[in-house]
Amino acid sequence: MNNRINFKDAVKLYERDLFELGELADEKRQELHGKKTYFNINRHINPTNVCADVCKFCAYSATRKNPNQYTMSHEEIMKIVDNIVAHDAKEVHIVSAHNPNVTLDWYLGVFKKIKEKYPALHVKALTAAEVDFLSRHHGLTYDEVLDLMIENGVDSMPGGGAEIFDEKVRDYICKGKVTSDQWFKIHRKWHERGKKSNVTMLFGHVESRENRIDHMMRIRELQDITGGFNAFIPLVYQTQNNYLNIDKPITANEILKTYAVARLVLDNVPNLKAYWVTSTVNLALVAQEFGANDLDGTIEKESINSAAGAASANGVDVKEFTGLIKNSGFTPVERDSVYNEIKVW
Ligand code: V47
């Protein structure tokens, strides 16, 4: 592509006035999606918080500041799934900590149970960090883990575990976890199997603007090759109950600039998700004018970010959510997990 934004110019975008930058990103957003804002009816399930890794930003892991360990049984998970299907959910998003005390079948067998009972329910599960953990812990190659995921009914992979790809920052915030190269290797292999995934970026902690741009550039590079990323999801760092000890939270101005810059730099990733869990619903609504065209979903329950202070423990009501999108001048469009449109609300 000829008029691609290079690293230096991307960093310079941050120096622009917020509203000027927003207009540029909005132009791109409108070109791609008009006034449509996508969301889905989904439920997050986090089946265990027992973790072998020690990420400094994490408040969810039970082995850190949270003494309340839990590991759900397949029956408990299925009960939740039965309930959400009865309430019209189209997607279940299953992400766990890295639990060394459970079997591989505990991780994978539940997907098979879900698929056998509800073939139409989309299973988005296992981050690249979990794939790497399962591969190390059970002596399997990435290929073997990914094939097992498909055999057991995983439809797509979430974008977690990306954090910040810069190796120095990564070493500081989550040493020992999946490396950046491994993260990309796993997603590349997944895309080569004809499958889709997302990609996140955890920002607003110790990283610099340059680190964020570097993160986006690495994503753009793989996307040029595979085209397998559906959405880019900047996750705003939540400050509570963890070991990073950031006393100055990121400003709304910098968050909105980051969405806008992402919309402009990631010219080959179709969707930019303002994940309301970490940005707040209010800022996610504003982000619609700064490049974001997706607000994730109703979620119902979420444990990872809410442990660190996000107000997401109980999700949002779909009527209220779509009403807010409409009142902010956009069209709420319910989508499935791979962005087929289901219903205009
Ligand atoms: O990878 C952990 C992040 C992620 C904190 O693919 C934190 O559709 C903020 O990946 N502050 C898991 N974030 C969530 C995730 C996700 C969420 C929504 C949609 C999708 C998708 C993926 O949560 C982890 C980590 O980066 N996280 N601690 C924290 N203190």
List pLDDT tens digits, range 303-335: 888 888 887 667 888 999 999 999 999 999 999
Q: For residue 71, report the distance from its CA to the centre of ligand 1, in Å.
A: 19
Ligand 1 centroid – CA 125 distance (Å): 13
User: Rounded to the nearest whole angstrom, what is the distance from the C-alpha of residue 127 to the centroid of ligand 1?
Assistant: 10
Asked if residue 306 has its Cβ within 6 Å of ligand 1, the reply is: no
pLDDT-derived band at 66, boundaries 50, 70, 90: low
What's the pLDDT at 305?
85
Torsion angle, alpha carbons of 45, 138, 178, 252, to 10: 10
What is the rounded average pLDDT of the residues 191-219? 98
> Ligand 1 center to residue 304 CA distance, Å?
7
pLDDT score, position 64: 54
Q: Global pTM?
A: 0.97
What average pLDDT does the structure give for the chain?
Answer: 95
CB atoms within 10 A of CB 34: 12
Query: Do 200 and 159 touch, CB atoms closer than 8 A?
Result: yes
Pocket test for ligand 1, best of 200, 236, 294, 302 (most atoms within 8 A of CB): 200
Report the nearest atom of ligand 1 relative to the CA of 60.
28
pLDDT over 70 (residue 65): no
Amino acid at site 252: A
What's the CA gap between 89 and 297, in Å, rounded? 10
Give DSSP secondary structure letters for 160-216: TT-S---HHHHHHHHTTS--HHHHHHHHHHHHHTT--EEEEEEESSS--HHHHHHHH
Closest residue by CA, ligand 1 atom 6: 158
Q: 61 CB less than 6 Å from ligand 1?
A: no
Instruction: Kindly report the protein residue whose alpha carbon is nearest to atom 30 of ligand 1.
Output: 238
Which residue's CA lies nearest to atom 21 of ligand 1? 158
Predicted pLDDT at 173? 97
Whole-number pLDDT of residue 266: 98
Contacting residues for 145 by C-beta, under 8 A, at least 6 apart? 131, 134, 135, 138
Ligand 1 neighbourhood includes 200 CB (under 6 angstroms): yes
pLDDT score, position 77: 98
Q: What's the pLDDT score for residue 3?
A: 82
Q: Does residue 232 contact residue 271 with C-beta atoms inside 8 Å?
A: yes
| Among the ranges given (59-68, 77-86, 204-213, 262-271), the one the predictor scored with the smallest mean pLDDT | 59-68
Helix (H, G, I), strand (E, B) or coil at 235: strand
CB 173 within 8 A of CB 55: yes
Q: Which runs of E-coded beta strand occur in the chain?
A: 36-40, 42-45, 91-94, 122-125, 197-203, 229-236, 271-272, 294-297, 331-335, 341-344
Q: Would you state the pLDDT for residue 2?
A: 61
Positions at the binding site for S-adenosyl-L-methionine: 57, 163
Q: CB of 161 closer than 6 A to ligand 1? A: yes
Kindly list the domain boundaries of the chain, sorted by start residue.
18-344
The pair of structure tokens assigned to 344 is 């205009």
Q: Give domain 18-344's CATH architecture.
A: Alpha-Beta Barrel (3.20)
Please state the rounded mean pLDDT for residues 77-96: 95
Per the listing, tokens 């449109």 go with 341
d(CA 77, CA 110): 8
Q: Could you tell which of 156, 186, 202 is best to mutate to test the pocket of ligand 1, judged by most ligand atoms within 8 Å of the CB? A: 202
208-248 confidence digits (pLDDT tens): 999 999 999 999 999 999 999 999 999 999 998 888 989 88
Cβ contact 114:120 at 8 Å: no
| pLDDT, position 55 | 94
Per-residue pLDDT at 151: 98
Q: How far apart are CA 43 and CA 270, in angstroms?
A: 23
d(Cα 172, Cα 165) in Å, to the nearest integer? 12
CA 152 to chain centre: 22
Of the two residues 65 and 23, the one the predictor is more confident about is 23
Mean pLDDT of 149-156: 98
- Region 31-58: what's the mean pLDDT? 95
**Ligand 1 close to Cβ of residue 58 (< 6 A):** yes
The span from the CA of 185 to the CA of 72, in Å, is 30
